[in-house]
């Protein structure tokens, strides 16, 4: 879960490191062949003013850091000039790594820009999710009516080259997250520009080329419809800046149809903005959304944020679907609905267990730092971090047609069938049909 935060400055350490890049360049010349004692002396002079800018309380601890930096500047053999920017970024990463918190991390400007763009709920590109498979970039799925789909790309297509440049060299040796980010950065671009993709289609063995005109692509995070027997269905895939607006639109279409009950599907929802989670909760009840436990043991109560009257579903029964991919803000919503709302029950599998809050700071060069600032508790003050939320009805996933239900969101039925198999949704619909929404104390299976 993250807070919106557009701070343009950072802590004294990072300011100091970044500031050093521009300052020291005027003092120290890169050497191609070895060093002499004079080099080390000059490097030390170049650092003296920067050292003086170190806060007094930290000078003793920083003495070793600057000593090593001086040695590198003065003695390290290199055929090319030192990349001081990379050294600074490396120092920042090393500092944050010592905190041993997976959610406190640093992003360089390019990656930070992609993250900011995605969280705003839209981006400029072709509209395709990517994954890494057997060392190749594969189109995982397509945004509806986006340029990629309209051009004829298909899920499973393997991208060989972008504008004639092979992707294999770009992503060689990278882990999946970095590989897909690197590929996405080449494929994305300003609206109206053209990108040419060379792809291999495994189904036919063809190698094809597509010239695709980029456009503004909206990230649809809410899907809603009225199912049989008057049951409303709402899927929220992420908590982005535009999710509340999309949810309100969906509710304004759903509520006039007078749903008798609701399934809220948060499966595989990785989270997003805290503000958005509180706004989503405000459409379903009025009360405590969560507690934040901050430094020093301070506990702060945060409430739901109510929506307009025509977007509220306060009274009807709700089944919330969660699984191991439900994390962060999704766990906030699931836990809050369980603790703070009557006639609500959770179905599925134990959630991921991310119970911390991050501030995102945009730094002076476009990079960003995410800093964990608190842990959160449910309205019943249950800890979630590294624990997760266990639903009252534990149901393993299954797509067998023995659990046939209407095909929801982007699901499509198997060939020759009209319905989809979904054991968790089927169990939730059964609970709503029989109105057995009170926790039984015994995990149920379909």
Which residues form the catalytic set? 328, 354, 358
Helices 12-24 and 84-97 cross at an angle (nearest 10°) of: 160
Q: Contact 193/214 with Cβ under 8 angstroms?
A: yes
Other CB atoms within a 10 A radius of the CB of residue 360 amount to 20
CA dihedral 290, 373, 264, 267 (to 10 degrees): -140
Q: What is the C-alpha separation between 385 and 352, in angstroms, rounded?
A: 9
User: What does the buried/exposed string (b/e) look like for 171-203 if buried means 16 or more CB atoms within 10 Å of the residue's CB?
Assistant: beeeeeeebbbbbbbbbbeeeeeebebbbbeee
Q: What angle do CA 230, 417, 156 make, to 5 degrees?
A: 105
User: What does the buried/exposed string (b/e) look like for 240-266 if buried means 16 or more CB atoms within 10 Å of the residue's CB?
Assistant: bbbbbebbbebbeebeeeebebbbbbb
Residue 183, phi-psi category: left (phi > 0), alpha (psi -120 to 50), beta (remainder): alpha
Tokens of 384: 């979630």
């Amino acid at each position: 879960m993250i807070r919106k935060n557009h701070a343009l400055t950072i802590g004294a350490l990072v300011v100091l490191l970044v500031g050093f890049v521009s300052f020291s360049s005027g003092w120290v010349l890169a050497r191609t062949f070895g060093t002499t004692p004079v080099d080390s002396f000059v490097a030390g002079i170049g650092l003296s003013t920067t050292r003086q800018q170190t806060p007094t309380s930290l000078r003793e601890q920083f003495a070793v850091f600057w000593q090593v930096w001086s040695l590198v500047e003065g003695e390290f053999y290199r055929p090319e000039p030192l990349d001081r920017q990379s050294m600074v970024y490396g120092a920042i990463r090393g500092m944050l790594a010592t905190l041993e918190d997976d959610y406190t991390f640093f992003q360089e400007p390019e990656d930070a820009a992609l993250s900011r763009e995605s969280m705003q709920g839209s981006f400029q590109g072709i509209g395709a999710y990517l994954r890494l498979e057997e060392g190749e970039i594969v189109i995982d799925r397509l945004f509806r009516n986006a340029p990629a789909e309209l051009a004829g790309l298909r899920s499973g297509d393997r991208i060989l080259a972008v504008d004639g440049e092979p992707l294999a060299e770009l992503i060689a040796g990278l882990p999946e997250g970095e590989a897909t980010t690197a590929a996405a950065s080449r494929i994305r671009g300003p609206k109206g520009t053209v990108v040419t993709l060379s792809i291999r289609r495994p189904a036919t063995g063809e190698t094809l080329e597509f010239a695709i005109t980029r456009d503004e692509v909206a990230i649809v995070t809410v899907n809603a419809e009225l199912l049989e027997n008057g049951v409303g269905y709402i899927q929220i895939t992420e908590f982005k800046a535009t999710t509340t607006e999309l949810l309100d639109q969906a509710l304004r279409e759903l509520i006039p149809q007078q749903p008798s009950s609701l399934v809220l599907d948060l499966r595989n929802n990785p989270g997003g903005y805290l503000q958005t989670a509180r706004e989503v909760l405000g459409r379903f009840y009025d009360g405590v959304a969560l507690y934040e436990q901050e430094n020093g043991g301070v506990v702060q109560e945060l409430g739901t944020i109510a929506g307009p009257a025509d977007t509220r579903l306060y009274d009807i029964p709700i089944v919330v679907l969660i699984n191991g991919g439900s994390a962060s803000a999704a766990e906030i919503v699931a836990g809050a609905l369980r603790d703070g709302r009557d006639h609500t029950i959770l179905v599925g599998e134990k959630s991921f267990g991310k119970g911390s809050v991050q501030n995102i700071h945009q730094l002076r060069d476009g990079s960003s730092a995410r800093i964990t600032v608190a842990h959160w508790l449910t309205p019943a003050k249950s800890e979630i971090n590294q624990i997760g939320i266990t639903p009252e009805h534990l149901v393993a996933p299954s797509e067998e047609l023995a659990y046939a239900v209407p095909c929801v969101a982007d699901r499509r039925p198997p060939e020759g069938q009209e319905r989809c198999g979904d054991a968790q949704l089927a169990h939730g619909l059964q609970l709503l049909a029989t109105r057995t929404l009170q926790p039984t104390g015994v995990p149920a299976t379909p």
